[in-house]
Amino acid sequence: MKSLQVGVVTKYGLKQAPRAWNKRIDAFLKQIGFLKCTSEHGVYVKCKNKAESLIVCLYVDDLLITCSNSDQIATFKQQMKSGFEMTDLGESAYFLGIEFKRTKLGIVMHQSKYITDVLKRFHMADCNISHTPAEANSVNSQIEEEKPVDKTLFRQMIGTLRYICNTRPDIAYGVGVASRFMENPLQSHLVAVKRVLRYLRGTLGLGLGIMFPSKQNINCKLDLLGFSDAYWCGDKSDRKSTTGYLFKLGEAPISWCYKKQDVVALSSCESEYMLLLCVNDKQLG
Using an 8 Å Cβ cutoff, are 92 and 55 in contact? no
CATH class of residue range 2-92: alpha beta
- Mean pLDDT (whole number) for 259-274: 83
Per-residue pLDDT, 206: 75
Most confident residue range from 15-29, 130-144, 211-225, 234-248: 15-29
Using an 8 Å Cβ cutoff, are 179 and 192 in contact? no
Q: 3-class DSSP state for residue 277?
A: helix
pTM confidence score: 0.78
Using an 8 Å Cβ cutoff, are 246 and 226 in contact? yes
Q: Which secondary-structure segment (H or E) carries 10?
A: none
Domain boundaries defined on the chain: 2-92, 111-206, 222-284
Mean pLDDT of the chain: 82
Which residue intervals of 204-252 are DSSP H helices? 215-218
Residues 109-125 pLDDT 10s: 888 899 999 999 999 99
Using an 8 Å Cβ cutoff, are 203 and 209 in contact? no
Residues 124-155 pLDDT 10s: 998 999 988 888 766 555 566 778 889 999 99
- Mean pLDDT (whole number) for 76-85: 86
Which residue from 254, 162, 258, 163 is spatially nearest to 211, judged by alpha carbons?
254
Most confident residue range from 26-30, 82-86, 105-109: 26-30
> Is residue 270 very low, low, confident or very high in pLDDT (cuts 50, 70, 90)?
confident
**Percent helix, strand and coil across the chain, each to the nearest 5:** 40, 25, 35
Which residue from 207, 193, 194, 197 is spatially nearest to 112, judged by alpha carbons?
207
224 class by beta-carbon count within 10 Å (0-12 exposed, 13-18 middle, 19+ buried): exposed
Per-residue pLDDT, 6: 56
The residue that leads in pLDDT, 197 or 86, is: 197
The residue that leads in pLDDT, 174 or 285, is: 174
Cα–Cα dist 1/249, whole Å: 15
Residues 146-196 pLDDT 10s: 788 899 999 999 999 999 998 888 898 889 888 888 888 889 899 999 999
97: alpha, beta or left? (left if phi > 0; alpha if psi -120 to 50): left
Using an 8 Å Cβ cutoff, are 130 and 242 in contact? no
Bridge partner residues of 244 (DSSP) = 229, 258
- Mean pLDDT (whole number) for 80-84: 85
Per-residue pLDDT, 220: 55
> Is residue 285 very low, low, confident or very high in pLDDT (cuts 50, 70, 90)?
very low
Q: What type of residue sits at position 177?
A: V
Per-residue pLDDT, 163: 93
